[in-house]
Structure 1
């Protein structure tokens, strides 16, 4: 199960990687060409060897990218109190779940480095 802390770590990692890629074309190229070793150098943690990460430069404003994330089993999903309140407060359930899936996907990659 992915914890709230792993969700936060995943979101922070994605934010850090994007920021570094925006600031340095060399880092962006390194991240695209060899994402695992680049992420390991940023986090200081070894990632699982059976995982494949695909990094796509999506900075071209003339293109729109659509990412279809892996299907998350509900049993794996642990929403934060804020996410639960959002869903319970009448916000569209699909929007709430989509937010959870996005955060879980980020946490999934961050969590792989902690094994």
Structure 2
């Protein structure tokens, strides 16, 4: 599976936060502004959603993230994704696709 542009940007943001403590502080305090400044692109978040960044770098703490529930009936899948689902791909991948599509919408340019 090919890495999307959104995944590349996410990886760059995480790497920058690991390498630059001030960037990490800014990212936690003002995620939208910091990401927009870093990427040069506006973040398209729906009005009722908030982007929250949590510092999970403390190795003595184990984090469990419970993602929002995705309504799979509202998702629009690509032909490749439909092929994977039709081929008997398990529910975990289906859920991952849904979450991935939801995340992609956050990083799309206006």
Place the TM-score, normalised by the shorter chain, in its bin. Answer: 0.7 to 0.9
TM-score normalized by the length of structure 1: 0.72
TM-score normalized by the length of structure 2: 0.75
1:28 maps to which of 24, 43, 46: 24
Q: Could you tell me whether the CA contact under 8 Å between 1:32 and 1:56 is conserved in 2?
A: yes
- The match for 1:67 is 65
Q: Could you tell me whether the CA contact under 8 Å between 2:72 and 2:98 is conserved in 1?
A: no
- The match for 2:106 is 109
User: Shift of the alpha carbon at 1:20?
Assistant: 1.0
- The answer for unaligned runs of 5 or more in structure 2 is none
Q: Equivalents in 2 of 1:84, 1:62: separation in Å?
A: 40
* CA deviation string 1:67-112 (max 9, x = no partner): 22222222442344554444344442x211122133123202112x
2:51 maps to which of 44, 50, 53: 53
How many residue pairs end up in the alignment?
Answer: 106
Q: Which has the higher contact order (CA 8 A, sep 6+)?
A: 1
SS at match of 1:106: helix
RMSD: 2.5
Indicate the structure with greater helix content.
1
- Stretch deviating more after TM superposition (44-53 or 34-43): 44-53
Relative to structure 1, is the Cα distance of residues 76 and 15 closer, same or farther in structure 2, using a 3 angstrom cutoff? Answer: farther
